[in-house]
């Protein structure tokens, strides 16, 4: 005997709307610089017996209440938990170099700081994307900037980071022709968001940036293979 069909119409699920709601819950709403030297620990498939450390740039609070460590990785300021690539890096945990303790979760004092700051700076939502927060870069991060034309790459220092109301974070680079005073600070008029002028920005730690400036052959070869072959490099700065 067959089942009686319900006279009610089938419910249509808008997958795109659901996706947007999930993304909104995971957007960043507040940043806090890491100033005590905590690191992200990750592993590589090419060296399975070793663990690698990378300084955490900042901690981020998401709309859903999660707190995540953030590092400049490839083309974005990335949540440590999102690193899940055996070849380029797989997240293992956080490390306090002073105690050498390996942590599975962000330290509680950072979560408390971010929650209180987000409650204090509770901005009213608008349809337009607005600037929420600026923080300085304290690690000497550099960006390799690639444009659409045949101009060589530019290696530029990152002076700060901007958090916008849609959760996106942009690196702040300097227009050398507009520098009026030094040192350059996050609010200076010479600074611009990297992606507003460059097709691609690729982030590197200070040590690797120095090797690029020194024209280290091995570093330049690996760089060309990783980003784009048959392209010239120019180290500004």
Helix axes 217-227, 206-213, angle to 10 degrees: 110
- pLDDT, average across residues 8-12: 55
The pLDDT tens digits of the residues spanning 213-227 come to 788 787 777 777 766
State how far the alpha carbon of 47 is from the alpha carbons of 55, 70, 72, 88, in Å: 20, 23, 22, 11
The pLDDT tens digits of the residues spanning 165-184 come to 999 999 999 999 999 999 99
Report, in angstroms and rounded to the nearest whole number, the Rg of the chain calculated over CA atoms: 21
For residues 165-188, one letter each, b for 16 or more C-beta atoms within 10 angstroms of the residue's C-beta and e for the rest, the string is bebebbbbbbeeeeeeeeebeeeb
Name the residue with tokens 């500004």. 236
**Residue ranges of E strands in the chain:** 28-33, 39-43, 52-55, 58-62, 67-73, 76-79, 84-85, 89-96, 101-103, 131-136, 142-146, 153-157, 160-164, 169-174, 191-193, 200-204, 233-234
Neighbours of 156 (CB within 10 A): 22
Could you write out the DSSP letters of every residue in 78-124?
EEGGG-EETTTEEEEEEEETTTTEEESS--HHHHHHHHHHHHHT-PP
The pLDDT tens digits of the residues spanning 28-78 come to 999 999 999 999 999 998 898 999 999 999 999 999 999 999 999 989 999
Whether the CB-CB separation of 75 and 202 falls below 8 Å is answered with yes
The pLDDT tens digits of the residues spanning 11-23 come to 555 555 545 545 5
SS3 208: helix
Whether the CB-CB separation of 69 and 43 falls below 8 Å is answered with no
């Amino acid at each position: 005997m067959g089942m009686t069909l319900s006279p009610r119409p089938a419910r249509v699920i808008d997958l795109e709307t659901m996706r947007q709601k999930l993304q909104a819950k995971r957007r960043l709403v507040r940043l806090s610089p890491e100033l005590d030297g905590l690191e992200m620990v990750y592993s590589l498939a090419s060296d399975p017996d070793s663990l690698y450390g990378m300084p955490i740039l900042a901690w981020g609070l998401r709309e859903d209440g999660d707190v995540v460590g953030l590092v400049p990785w490839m083309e974005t300021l990335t949540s440590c938990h999102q690193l899940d690539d055996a070849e380029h890096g797989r997240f293992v945990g956080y490390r306090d170099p002073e105690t050498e303790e390996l942590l599975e979760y962000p330290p509680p004092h950072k979560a408390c700081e971010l929650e209180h700051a987000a409650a204090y700076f509770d901005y009213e939502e608008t349809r337009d994307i607005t600037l929420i927060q600026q923080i300085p870069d304290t690690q000497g991060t550099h960006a390799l900037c690639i444009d659409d034309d045949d101009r060589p790459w530019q290696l530029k220092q990152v002076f700060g980071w901007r958090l916008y109301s849609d959760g996106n974070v942009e690196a702040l680079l300097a227009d050398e022709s507009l520098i009026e005073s030094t040192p350059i600070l996050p609010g200076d008029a010479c600074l611009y968001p990297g992606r507003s002028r460059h097709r691609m920005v690729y982030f590197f730690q200070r040590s690797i940036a120095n090797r690029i400036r020194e024209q280290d052959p091995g570093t330049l070869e690996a760089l060309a293979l990783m980003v784009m072959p048959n392209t010239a490099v120019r180290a500004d700065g």
